[in-house]
A and B are shown apart, each in its own frame.
Chain A
Amino acid sequence: MWRDAAFWILAVLSVGTGAAVFVVDSMARATFALLASFLCVGAVLLLIDLHYLGVLVVLMMIMEMLVMAVFMIMYMMNPAGLMPMTMVHNHRNALGISAGVFVLLAGGILTVRWPHREGAPPADPTRALGEALMGPKMLVMMVIGLAILATMIASVVLATHRGRYDQDEHEHEPQPQDAHEHHAHEHHGHGGAA
């Protein structure tokens, strides 16, 4: 009984905070609204005995959202939301499409006859997950590992100051006599990284 109540409260909270992400003005609030949504989902996973994955979602999302907050504030022109402004395009269509997708999915969910439950949850789902990953699902683990490695390399290469072409950093040091020219150069001549 309490599980049902907890599920509904968490479900409403997670969707509500998820929607709040796109409503609030302050970037910090948006980031932490998203984090609240993830925390609710983590708690929902705890309700269905996925203790490890639930806590993993909580752990990873706290770290991820903190990193996200840094970038939000770095790149948004109005991070604190002190001057309310909207930065949306195609608002009405987006609303229509997503509402339509939800109705479609909900219709599907309610009409499809889902298969019955096969088997019972193992005593320790965490162990089952670990044994699956180290046994029959080893390929998934390897692909994840490779993807993480590739992402690490690719993101560093993209984000580093020198860009993809590994120019010498000192080439761009402003010379005293052509400081102004250098400024223009930064903006137009350095497009290689895009």
Chain B
Amino acid sequence: MSESVLVVPLLVALLAFAAAAFDAVLAASAAGSPGAWRVWDAPLREAARLLVRQRRNTLAADRLLRRTGIAVLPVAAVLAAAVLPLGGADAASDSSIGIVWFNAAEVAVWAGVWLAGWSVNSAYSLVGGYRIIAQGLAYELPHMFALITVGVGAESLRFADAVSAQHGLWFAVQMPVAFAVYLLSALAMAFWGPLASPVGRDLAGGAMAELSGADRLVFLAGRYAMLAVAAAATVPLFLGGGAGPLLPAWLWTLVKTLAVLAALVWAGHRVPVLRMDRFMGFAWTVLIPPTLLQLLVTSLIAL
């Protein structure tokens, strides 16, 4: 425990805002509006608009579960961020099982989305809720193998040990397959871009179709926060943490995080949404064998 307990939620919020702002800028530039960078404050205006908007109530909705599900997203993002090392400073909670903790917090997102989809008693939302489970089961196995590979390479489940194990060579170079799989599952954690079908346009917004007002704001904020945290975790896991020339460690961590986050947001605009059944088949038949091979190679090196 340290003073960073207070800093972490703030950092997550700032990163989430950065992601949302970049997303808005990319959308504006794709729409061809001149001076797209000027819409950077669109998320703030959207937040204000949602805050004054009335909450939509559906028939026979399960309010308790809806509130729980929506609140789970930002809470899970902050909990996942709590174990990440912040460059020079210690993590908010330097847990010896940080990687497992991160995994658990990120799985909680499935529960949040499913609850949000189920509880509003609407068909499109429910389908969106089911899609997150299918998607979760598809990406989780390769994702877990990627995390285990890092754990084996670092010979520890602590994020700080993973960082110090990369002094010689970044894990992104040592275990490229795990890195690629992790980036894919970072998109899946925030159901973003090609893996956004739980909230897909074909379902009129899927799990968040019926959410409006403050509910929608918290849900969207939690989603951007999860994307930001997934990007931030890439840095200690694969990109050597705060290591880098000249600049201080915290600044390198920030620069790398923003670079990964920007790449993820950009990918969300460039890649079409995948169909869930195709992704499931791809994840289980194509992704799992190379991640297992990568794990084997890393284990042999570690021995």
A and B touching (Cβ–Cβ under 8 A): yes
Interface centre among B68, B111, B130 (most CB of A within 10 A): B111
> Is B11 part of the contact surface with A, judged by Cβ < 8 Å?
no
B107 contact from A28, A29, A52, A59, Cβ within 8 A: A59
CB proximity to B under 8 Å, residues A114-131? 124, 126
CA distance A58 to B104 in the complex (A): 7
Q: A28-B62, A59-B104 are in contact. Are A124 and B96 (CB under 8 A)?
A: yes
CB distance from B265 to the nearest CB of A (A): 27
Please choose the segment from A61-69, A93-101, A159-167 that sits at the chain B interface, where 4 or more of its residues have CB less than 8 A away.
Answer: A61-69
> Is A44 part of the contact surface with B, judged by Cβ < 8 Å?
no
Please choose the segment from B112-120, B201-209, B247-255, B268-276 that sits at the chain A interface, where 4 or more of its residues have CB less than 8 A away.
Answer: B112-120
Inter-chain contacts of B157 with A (CB < 8 A): 52, 126
Q: A51-B97, A52-B97 are in contact. Are A32 and B115 (CB under 8 A)?
A: yes
> Is A56 part of the contact surface with B, judged by Cβ < 8 Å?
yes
CA distance A58 to B111 in the complex (A): 12
Inter-chain contacts of A52 with B (CB < 8 A): 96-97, 100, 157
Q: A28-B119, A63-B110, A80-B121 are in contact. Are A55 and B62 (CB under 8 A)?
A: no
Query: What are the interface flags for B90-110 relative to A under an 8 Å C-beta threshold, 1 for contact and 0 otherwise?
Result: 000001110011011001101
CB pair B100 A66 closer than 8 Å: no
Inter-chain contacts of A51 with B (CB < 8 A): 95-97
Query: What are the interface flags for B111-151 relative to A under an 8 Å C-beta threshold, 1 for contact and 0 otherwise?
Result: 10011001101000000001001001100100000000000
Q: At the interface, is chain A mostly helix, strand, loop or mixed?
A: helix
Inter-chain contacts of B137 with A (CB < 8 A): 63, 67
CB distance from A131 to the nearest CB of B (A): 13
CA distance A175 to B172 in the complex (A): 56
CB pair B96 A62 closer than 8 Å: no
CB distance from B148 to the nearest CB of A (A): 12
> Is A26 part of the contact surface with B, judged by Cβ < 8 Å?
yes
CB pair B111 A62 closer than 8 Å: yes
CA distance A28 to B117 in the complex (A): 11
Inter-chain contacts of B119 with A (CB < 8 A): 28
CB pair B100 A80 closer than 8 Å: no
CA distance A135 to B276 in the complex (A): 41
> Is B64 part of the contact surface with A, judged by Cβ < 8 Å?
yes
Q: Quick one: closest A residue to B103, CB to CB?
A: A59
* Count of chain A residues with a beta carbon within 8 Å of a chain B beta carbon: 22
Inter-chain contacts of A67 with B (CB < 8 A): 133, 137
CB pair B64 A29 closer than 8 Å: yes
> Is B60 part of the contact surface with A, judged by Cβ < 8 Å?
yes
Query: What are the interface flags for A28-65 relative to B under an 8 Å C-beta threshold, 1 for contact and 0 otherwise?
Result: 11001001000000000000000110011011001101
CB pair A80 B96 closer than 8 Å: no
Q: Quick one: closest A residue to B64, CB to CB?
A: A29
CA distance A175 to B211 in the complex (A): 45
> Is A194 part of the contact surface with B, judged by Cβ < 8 Å?
no
CA distance A32 to B103 in the complex (A): 19
CB pair B130 A70 closer than 8 Å: yes
> Is B262 part of the contact surface with A, judged by Cβ < 8 Å?
no
CB pair B60 A126 closer than 8 Å: no
Q: List 28 A-B contacts (CB under 8 A).
A: A26-B62, A28-B62, A28-B65, A28-B118, A28-B119, A32-B65, A32-B115, A51-B95, A51-B96, A51-B97, A52-B96, A52-B100, A55-B97, A58-B104, A59-B100, A59-B103, A59-B107, A62-B111, A63-B107, A63-B136, A63-B140, A66-B110, A66-B111, A66-B136, A69-B118, A70-B130, A80-B60, A80-B121
Using A66-B110, A80-B62 as known contacts, list a sample of 15 further A-B pairs with CB atoms less than 8 Å apart, ordered by residue number in A.
Answer: A28-B115, A28-B118, A29-B62, A29-B65, A32-B68, A35-B111, A52-B97, A55-B104, A56-B100, A62-B107, A62-B108, A63-B107, A66-B111, A124-B96, A126-B97
CB within 8 Å of A: which residues of B? 60, 62, 64-65, 68, 95-97, 100-101, 103-104, 107-108, 110-111, 114-115, 118-119, 121, 130, 133, 136-137, 140, 157
CB within 8 Å of B: which residues of A? 26, 28-29, 32, 35, 51-52, 55-56, 58-59, 62-63, 65-67, 69-70, 80, 82, 124, 126
